[in-house]
Amino acid sequence: MSNQDRTLDHYQELMTINATSHLLRTARTVGLFDQLATGQQTLPALAENLGIPADRLLLLLQSLISVGIIEQYQEDYALSATARLLCQYDADLGDATWEKLANALRESPLDEPEKETRSAEFAARLRTRADAVAATQWVHTPAAMQAAEILGFGPSEETPDASSESNDSVAPAASQAVAGPVATEPIELLDLGCGSAVWSCAMAFREPAIHVTAIDSEAALVAAQSMADSIELNDRFEAKVGDVLDASLPADSYDMILIAQRLHAYSMEQVEQILKSCLASLKSGGRIVVIDLFRGPHRPTLSESLEALRLQVQTGEGAVPELKSAEQRFRDAGYESVQFTYIAASRVGLGMMIGSKP
């Protein structure tokens, strides 16, 4: 294929992406998704209910079938499983976030006095982002199971290859270097800012010795408790209302502290505060595990770039850290044996950084 052909293909691909975006918004605007959310319908019924000529509506339906949003069963049309997820979790197609992108890019960094006056606004933005992450966190279940395996929890299995980026101390073979010893006594795991607790529950599911203490808002803990109940963790799961920044953690109490998809929503100063607080709460030899976005030396994928932009829009002060900077931040907080691996099963390029308390 010539360079000209590749350019034309890329052009067509971008135009198709934009057209698909408009298809989805049009279907939402005219009420098609709402109509089919109540059950499958025929073309004449849909045309009458929506007030759209059947021949024009058919063109829209056929296009939506091509992108996997609508399914056809003989004379009936229905929402696909993907469309039902959109209607349940992202009914506005993310517009509430992306419409703020231009302004978010133009925002100037806050000086200290402004940070004080906008602390309440920042807290509200953090809560909104945390709720959004928790609502769909269950989609990370395969990645959570892989993370648990990499950490050495559960029966010994061959771990799928995970792309690892390394500084001097980042594990080249994370499945071997990160794994801990076989549990012979209870493992106290703190899931700080747990969301739906999919990550900690996956670990507890694989390792019967784990007892999870999950800390988050009351609303998030409802989803977390439901997750724990679904895999019958019973008395191995304890939920506590608290805040990531001010959780009043007991000293020298946990074998592991997990912070998943939350840490890098905070400012650099707050991240340092959280890391030091967690260090004090770990037992000697205990590990902190941060699962989040990290920027490696490779060119970021579209999914990784979009997640980084979403983080900026939703928080204003959060940012995806460079791997070397994140590692140094761990060391500055007092952690040793800092290691990192990308989680191969993650659909958005999540990675895992681990540090140990001396």
* Burial of 70 (C-beta count, 10 Å sphere; 0-12/13-18/19+): buried
Helix axes 302-315, 119-135, angle to 10 degrees: 140
Among this protein's residues, is 264 annotated catalytic? yes
Distance spanning both ends of the chain, measured CA to CA: 56
Helices (H) and strands (E) in the chain, counts: 16, 10
What kind and span of H or E run contains 241?
strand 237-241
Instruction: For residue 98, list its beta bridge partners.
Output: none
Helix axes 141-150, 198-206, angle to 10 degrees: 50
- Whether 123 and 267 have beta carbons less than 8 Å apart is answered as no
Alpha helix (H) residue ranges in 191-236:
198-206, 218-230
Q: Could you tell me which residues come within 8 angstroms of residue 247 by beta carbon, excluding any fewer than 6 positions away?
A: 192, 215, 277
Catalytic entry in 22, 140, 264, 298: 264
Residue 154: strand, helix, or coil = coil
The overall longest dimension of the chain from CA atoms, in Å, is: 71
DSSP-assigned letter for residue 110: P
Does the CA dihedral 45-34-81-307 come out positive or negative?
A: positive
Q: Which of 222, 224, 262 is nearest to 245 (CA)?
A: 262
Euclidean distance between CA atoms 140 and 54, whole angstroms: 40
Residues designated catalytic: 264
